[in-house]
Amino acid sequence: MGRFLSILFVTSTLFLTACSTTTSVPGSVKMPSTKGVAAKSITIGEFSGNNRQASDELKAKVTAYINREGFTDAVTSRGQGLLSAKINMGRLNRDSWKTDHEDKDDKTYYRYHAKHSKNLSVSYRYKSGSKIITDVHEASYEDEESSKDGYSEAKRELLSEDKINNKLVKEVARSIAYDLTPHRKAVTFDFIKGDEVAVGFGSVDKNLETGVKYVESKRFPEAESIFQQVIDNTTKPKTRAAAMYNIGLLREMHEDYKSAFEIYADASQIDLASDRYRNAMSRAEQRHANLIIFNQATGQ
């Protein structure tokens, strides 16, 4: 699997306390629209509700998210479908309190707490011919800060209401856009560096770790070559299964889900006790199905 990279195979294993045995590498997967919409263009209609500024921002952000994906045009008229929405922005809930504590000299001191919370609910309607889709998306925000210097200092660390509104609107806008357009979903690929031996303890295989570092630097052929050498040389079944899993992840990153599935299936036969590989098989199957629908919707 992959071209050969000459390295010195390291047989020792490095044991660490409270170490992380996986490394998360960011990536994305192609997804069809959540609601099965495959329109080439969508007219962005009326966005109304109890907060005009938030309604306008939501409309602008939904438009931007749809257009950013590049598969559907968000237009002002003559689209294949019509989208409208109604916003219900909740009130900003403010709370503050103090708690008493004792220092090492048994002297009492106070910490002052401040908390902000707020909710947003948006109902939308999408119509294309006789097809009508309706749904509700909600978002919540909550933050708490504290200070020994008084309520004002604690409140100073909290976001302003305008910034809270912006976060809520952004979250809902993304959800609505992804309901209606094919898109790329941000995911992480968790590459294995070693075995999870017990809670708080783990072992890192130095060869797996080297391969993962190549993945992080996007040197994928070199990474695969190292993982293959681990498979060929290790005497530990769990380590061999982990290296196979990592190659499967590389296949997933390059949308070769059939190959990934086969590799995960082989790994599951080596490490029968682990759910990781069976779960990966299901994930690869689902992503392959999503890719087919995505390609059909986008003409790829």
Q: What is the pTM of this model?
A: 0.83
CA dist list (Å): 275 to 230, 240, 265, 272, 280: 21, 16, 11, 8, 8
Query: Domains in the chain, please, with CATH?
Result: 13-30+185-298 (1.25.40.10), 33-89+118-140+152-181 (3.30.160)
Rounded CA separation 96/98 (Å): 7
Rounded to an integer, what distance in angstroms lies between the CA atom of residue 207 and that of residue 12? 9
Tell me the HSE value of 240 on the side-chain side, using a 13 A CA sphere.
14
CA distance 214 to 15: 21
Provide CB contacts within 8 A for 176, sequence distance 6+: 62, 65, 83, 85, 122, 124, 137
Q: In which residue ranges of the chain is pLDDT below 50? A: 1-19, 197-201
The two structure tokens encoding residue 43: 């007219």
pLDDT at residue 1, rounded to an integer: 42
Q: How far apart are the first and last CA of the chain?
A: 27
Q: What is the pLDDT of residue 270?
A: 96
d(CA 285, CA 291): 10
Q: What is the pLDDT of residue 5?
A: 44
* C-alpha span between 208 and 217 (Å, rounded): 14
pLDDT of 110-163, one tens digit each? Answer: 999 999 999 999 999 999 999 999 999 999 999 999 999 999 999 999 999 999
Angle at which helix 257-270 crosses helix 276-298, to 10 degrees, equals 170
Cβ count near 235 (within 10 Å): 7
| Residue-level pLDDT at 195 | 66
**Confidence at residue 4, expressed as pLDDT on a 0 to 100 scale:** 39
* Torsion angle in degrees (nearest 10) through CA of 55, 60, 61, 67: 150
